[in-house]
Amino acid sequence: MLLAVYADLNNLKIINDRYGHEERDFSIRLVGQFLQDSIGKRGVCGRIGGDEFAYLVPCSDETMSRDLYRTLHSAFDIFNRTNEKAYNITVSTGFYLLPKDMDSTLPEMLAHADAMLYEEKQKRDKNVAKILPK
């Protein structure tokens, strides 16, 4: 099985407009780092657009794909709770697991993953600023 993941950095324009270019660049690098960390040397990962990333990784079953999802989102949760940034860095992700007995092109796999990403993005919180304790 092959897992295709499409990830989108949420609120990049807001981060750029409110906090500046350095924070935008920091956010982009962090997403790339967390994606690469989540797959290790098992797959390939890259930035494919302004706020869009993708990775492909051989995957033994659906449990592994759920574990990768949890690992990635957990990294962002921990980072956002433990850093002093005035904003949260989050991603929306879409996953597509290609069964062993099926053929597909990379664009087709990413299109499926992108459709799942769009569904997740509709449910996310659009507020980027942290609510800091008084």
User: What pLDDT digit, counting tens, does each position of 47-101 carry?
Assistant: 998 999 998 988 877 888 888 889 999 999 999 999 999 999 999 999 888 877 7
Range of the domain at 95: 2-123
Q: What residue type is 74 in one-letter code?
A: S
Q: How many domains does one find in the chain?
A: 1
Amino acid 28: pLDDT: 96
Q: Residue 43 half-sphere exposure, CB side, CA atoms within 13 Å?
A: 21
Q: What residue type is 91 in one-letter code?
A: V
In a domain, 130, yes or no: no
- Residue 10: CATH number of its domain: 3.30.70.270
In a domain, 128, yes or no: no
3-class SS of residue 8: strand
In a domain, 71, yes or no: yes
Tokens read off for 22: 């350095």
Q: Across the beta sheet with 52-58, what order do the strands follow?
A: 44-47, 52-58, 2-9, 91-98
